[in-house]
Amino acid sequence: MLLVMPASFRQVIFHVDNGGRQGGRRVVTHEYPKRDTPFAEDMGMQAQRWSFSGYLIYRPNNPMYDYVIQRARLVKALEADDAGMLVHPVFAQGGVNVMVERYSMTESREKGGYTQFDMQFVQAGSPGNSQQFPDTAAAVSNNANVQDSTATQLLNSIPG
């Protein structure tokens, strides 16, 4: 399956030799003095990670595929800022939003027209500290101003 279907990152296609996925739970283990039994605390899921050994290969019989341009496009995609969409035939079929942690690119004289990429990605997720909290001080102040103006209007409306 890996060799039949290509993978892509930021819509730049590459072929995959092998790949892997890591995940799990974040666990904090509490160990107490004078106690033989620890307590393992679940802190939620770890960020998912993917690593691939992929390649581009020169194919002169395919005029739609320019090896040099494709290699430059993949390097540019791997070095671009922020998250991008990773599609993999086994590990990310529907696509997943990831950041590139690192990559390496290797070419050799013996394998002319072949570039190997070792790539590591991490799940981009969403910011956890962006929750909006109401500005209670401003709300109290605005409410007090409304009440003061209402009281002033009432006092001014009393004949006398």
Domains of the chain: 7-157 (2.40.30.200)
Instruction: Give residues with Cβ within 8 angstroms of 9, minimum separation 6.
Output: 74, 77, 78, 84, 85, 86, 87, 98, 100, 119, 121
Summarize pLDDT for 1-53 with one digit per residue, the tens. 445 668 999 999 998 988 899 999 999 999 999 999 999 999 999 999 999 99
Cα angle value 18/23/26 (rounded, 5°): 155
Residue pair 103/118 in contact (Cβ under 8 Å)? The answer is yes
- pTM for the model stands at 0.70
Distances (CA, A) of 144 to 21, 64, 147, 156: 56, 70, 5, 18
Summarize pLDDT for 75-102 with one digit per residue, the tens. 999 999 999 999 998 888 889 999 999 9
Using DSSP bridges, classify how beta strands 49-57 and 12-22 pair: parallel, antiparallel or unpaired. Answer: antiparallel
Residue 63: helix, strand or coil by DSSP? coil
Residue 61 has pLDDT above 80, yes or no: no
Residue pair 68/77 in contact (Cβ under 8 Å)? The answer is no
